[in-house]
């Protein structure tokens, strides 16, 4: 029997598409809404090739409340929402703060308003470890203080968490699970879907694989004089499929009322910090492919080191990020090779 219908905003994007696959594999019906500002509609073909099911798709902008009302009229059975739709480039958010505040906050506020009207039971929200800023100590638990955001993008995540909390504390009849992602990397092992931002990648791995295949000349590694074990920034790189699986558990938790809490917050990471250079080495070791890189000056706003304490998610959700980094690097490379084979990149 099919499970409930879930609306996935931003579902043709990187993390969204992997999550749609896991939702469909778990038996959920999925409606995607995406304005394709940072993704391509062909992603639906990849999802269908993996799962055998083509998700429902509505091309619309979540900031457009009229379009969103129309979507809920068409799919009145939506019981849960996963909200991935957002603009996410830190640097761009410094140049265009209003675009970020408008897109990320109006999207969320429209969804919260419609959830109340349409009897939706819960919303999973994509937050980020950026809320912790430069943490006082690592690994970071959910109790770590929220630091003043260093970019409008980061600020939208902090404000979004506050908006959700205020709306639910004011008595809204739904629940929320806020997931703070560390650094998602890799692709689906089938190489049918992966990370393919429109334009020049702002994230490390697509830039790295595009450099390795010759689309870009060299990868810039920003700063080698940080106060870390090898001088490079340290992050918690989490496999995107592991990350996607956590969303299915979060949805189930809300829809099946497995917790008495109306709002829950979880860190999603591996618990291991890897430096940017260690990640490049892992890629080269796993694939046998060399990555041309240069050391560039530090980039303003970059955090020196941050990695998760995922114990709370491990214990409460029964979830762990278990994919070895070498497998993740191989999946990222297989995806890049598939893009080349298809003449896309």
Ligand X SMILES: NC(=O)c1ccc[n+]([C@@H]2O[C@H](COP(=O)([O-])OP(=O)(O)OC[C@H]3O[C@@H](n4cnc5c(N)ncnc54)[C@H](O)[C@@H]3O)[C@@H](O)[C@H]2O)c1
The nearest distance, CB 253 to ligand X, in angstroms, is 19
Concerning whether 153 is annotated as a catalytic residue, the answer is yes
Task: Using the structure block, give the residue that is written with the tokens 């910090």.
Answer: 273
The nearest distance, CB 60 to ligand X, in angstroms, is 7
Closest residue by beta carbon to ligand X = 13
The nearest distance, CB 69 to ligand X, in angstroms, is 14
Q: In this complex, which beta carbon is closest to ligand X, that of residue 19 or of residue 287?
A: 19
Q: In this complex, which beta carbon is closest to ligand X, that of residue 33 or of residue 317?
A: 33
Query: Of 28, 153, 226, 232, which is the active-site residue?
Result: 153
Question: What CA–CA distance (Å, rounded) separates 344 from 209?
Answer: 14
Among residues 248, 223, 201, 229, the alpha carbon closest in space to that of 307 is found at: 229
Beta strand pairing call for 237-239 and 56-59: unpaired
The nearest distance, CB 154 to ligand X, in angstroms, is 10
Q: In this complex, which beta carbon is closest to ligand X, that of residue 14 or of residue 232?
A: 14
The nearest distance, CB 58 to ligand X, in angstroms, is 9
Taking a C-beta distance cutoff of 8 angstroms, is the pair 155, 94 a contact?
no
Q: In this complex, which beta carbon is closest to ligand X, that of residue 87 or of residue 287?
A: 87
What does the binding site for ligand X look like in residue numbers (CB under 6 A)?
9-10, 12-16, 33-39, 61-63, 84-88, 103, 107, 126, 128, 181, 183-184, 203
The nearest distance, CB 209 to ligand X, in angstroms, is 15
Question: What CA–CA distance (Å, rounded) separates 5 from 222?
Answer: 43
Beta strand pairing call for 234-235 and 274-275: antiparallel
The nearest distance, CB 278 to ligand X, in angstroms, is 18
Q: In this complex, which beta carbon is closest to ligand X, that of residue 79 or of residue 88?
A: 88
Q: In this complex, which beta carbon is closest to ligand X, that of residue 61 or of residue 242?
A: 61
- 201: its two tokens: 């990648």
Q: In this complex, which beta carbon is closest to ligand X, that of residue 129 or of residue 221?
A: 129
**3-state helix/strand/coil string of the chain:** CCCCEEEEECCCCHHHHHHHHHHHHCCCEEEEEECCCCCCCCHHHHHHHHHCCCCEEEECCCCCHHHHHHHHHHCCCEEEEEECCCCCCHHHHHHCHHHHHHHHHHHHHHHHHHHHHHCCCEEEEEEEHHHHCCCCCCCECCCCCCCCCCCHHHHHHHHHHHHHHHHHHCCCCCEEEEEEECEEECCCCCCCCCCCCCCCCCCHHHHHHHHHCCCCCCEEEECCCCCCCCCCCEECEEEHHHHHHHHHHHHHHHHCCCCCCCEEEEEECCCCCEEHHHHHHHHHHHHCCCCCEEEECCCCCCCCECCECCHHHHHHHCCCCCCCHHHHHHHHHHHHHHHHHCCCC
Q: Which residues are catalytic?
A: 153
């Amino acid at each position: 029997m099919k499970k409930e219908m879930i609306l996935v905003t931003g579902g043709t994007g990187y993390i969204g598409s992997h999550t749609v696959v896991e939702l469909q594999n778990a038996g959920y019906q999925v409606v995607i809404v995406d304005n394709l500002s940072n993704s391509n509609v062909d992603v639906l073909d990849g999802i269908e090739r993996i799962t055998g099911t083509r998700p429902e798709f509505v091309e619309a902008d979540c900031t457009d409340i009229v379009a969103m009302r129309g979507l809920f009229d068409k799919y009145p059975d939506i019981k849960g929402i996963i909200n991935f739709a957002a603009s996410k480039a830190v640097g761009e958010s410094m140049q265009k703060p209003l675009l970020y505040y408008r897109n990320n906050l109006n999207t969320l506020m429209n969804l919260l308003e419609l959830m109340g009207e349409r009897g939706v039971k819960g919303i999973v929200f994509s937050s980020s470890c950026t809320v912790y800023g430069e943490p006082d100590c690592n690994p970071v638990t959910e109790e770590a203080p929220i630091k003043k955001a260093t970019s409008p993008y980061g600020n939208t995540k902090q404000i979004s968490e506050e908006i959700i909390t205020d709306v639910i504390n004011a008595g809204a009849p739904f629940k929320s699970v806020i997931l703070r992602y560390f650094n998602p990397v890799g692709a689906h092992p089938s190489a049918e879907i992966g990370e393919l931002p429109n334009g020049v990648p702002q994230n490390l791995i697509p830039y790295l694989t595009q450099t390795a295949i010759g689309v870009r000349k060299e990868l810039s590694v920003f700063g080698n004089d940080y106060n870390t074990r090898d001088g490079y920034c340290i992050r918690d790189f989490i496999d995107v499929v592991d990350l996607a699986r956590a969303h299915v558990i979060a949805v189930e938790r809300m829809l099946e009322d497995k917790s008495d809490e109306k709002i829950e917050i979880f860190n999603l990471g591996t618990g291991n910090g890897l430096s940017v250079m260690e990640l490049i080495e892992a890629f080269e070791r796993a694939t046998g492919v060399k990555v041309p890189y240069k050391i560039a000056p530090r980039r303003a706003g970059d955090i020196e080191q941050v990695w998760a304490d995922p114990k709370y998610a491990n214990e409460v959700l029964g979830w762990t990020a278990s994919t070895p980094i070498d497998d993740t690097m191989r999946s990222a490379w297989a995806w890049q090779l598939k893009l080349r084979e298809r003449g896309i990149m």
